[in-house]
Amino acid sequence: MNKLANMEMFVRVVEAGSFAAAAEICGVSATMVAKHVADIEQRLGARLLHRTTRRQQLSEVGRLYYERCKTALAEVERAEASALELHESPRGKLRLVAPVSFGSYSMVPLLGEYMERHPDVDVDLTLDNRLPNLADGDFELGVYIGEVNEPGIVARPLRPYRRLLAASPAYLERHGQPMHPEQLSEHLCLGLSYWRRYNHWHFVADDGTTCSVNVQGRFTANQGNALRVAARNGMGIVLQPEVVLTDDLASGRLVAVLPGWSLKPSPMYLIYAQDRHPTAKLRSVIDFLLERLGAAA
């Protein structure tokens, strides 16, 4: 007889309390149930059940075998569920969280493309710069800029997050174009007020050379888009993510400053809970985002 079928029947006998009860539940004869158990006992060379006319009781071997059978059968069920799910189409609501600027400028267009590919998936995007708590179940997936050392979190590397310098043509006409990061100390620089040291910028050149400079300015804000608008209005040199400045640089509203330098890139990760059972929906969006944003892309 099939070994897996033997194990399933033995577990059923133990949990039903008798051969007759197991036979009724499974829709087979009590003789067939007995054959399954006898096949195991013959293979193991040990008795699993002590049977009398009134009751049955697990032997020591039977008790151990029962516990191991339950574990093995549960694993088989999980394996089959995972295999079946591979053939399911992604569906349901996807809840994810991403940093404010990156989420607004990069994630939204990508998620629109993803939703076109998977019309049965709805997306609920939360914008938050803090490291999300994925353990509480509020989010299935997150993007985070910075190092991730949280236990129980899977962190898949994405392309590093780059920040560039830019200013309006009018500002550069009045103040001149700096040729080296050290000259930024002589310019008006626009800073994020929530940066711990918004007036101390660390740069890296295309050739790997590094430079740190103290900057100053008359305008700070707690939101990057406000600084971008300030730069467009000639209020200073802005340091913002590459994706935020792309359209303004392409249109000429802003001009790249020190194009061979950028703020030292920050690591960026796609994160999800290690113990989360990957649904077709979650697998599909992870694969899609790694394809479009992955470190090797």
CATH number at 133 reads 3.40.190.10
Specify the pLDDT at position 297: 44
Whether 103 and 12 share a structural domain: no
Task: Report in angstroms the alpha-carbon separations of 84 from 73, 78, 80, 87, 284.
Answer: 16, 10, 6, 6, 15
Whether 145 and 100 share a structural domain: yes
Whether 226 and 184 share a structural domain: yes
Whether 168 and 222 share a structural domain: yes
* CA torsion angle 121 127 128 132 (round to 10): 0
Whether 251 and 172 share a structural domain: yes
Domain boundary among 50, 85, 120: 85
Question: Any idea which residue has 């077709």 for tokens?
Answer: 280
Whether 167 and 239 share a structural domain: yes
Whether 125 and 259 share a structural domain: no
CA pair distance 257, 136, nearest whole angstrom = 43
Residue 249 sits in a domain of what CATH number?
3.40.190.290
Contact 93, 124 (CB under 8 A): yes
Whether 113 and 78 share a structural domain: no
Whether 252 and 271 share a structural domain: no
Domain boundary among 54, 85, 116: 85
Domain boundary among 85, 101, 119: 85
Specify the pLDDT at position 213: 93
Residue 17: give the domain boundaries: 3-85
* Mean pLDDT, contiguous 10-residue spans, the chain (297 residues): 86 89 88 90 89 80 91 85 70 91 93 95 92 79 91 91 94 96 94 69 90 91 90 95 91 95 90 79 93 76
Specify the pLDDT at position 81: 72
Residue 11 sits in a domain of what CATH number?
1.10.10.10
* CA torsion angle 271 277 280 281 (round to 10): -50
Length of the chain: 297
Whether 40 and 134 share a structural domain: no
Whether 183 and 240 share a structural domain: yes
Task: Report in angstroms the alpha-carbon separations of 13 from 17, 23, 40, 249.
Answer: 6, 8, 13, 73
Whether 129 and 141 share a structural domain: yes
How many domains is the chain partitioned into structurally?
A: 3
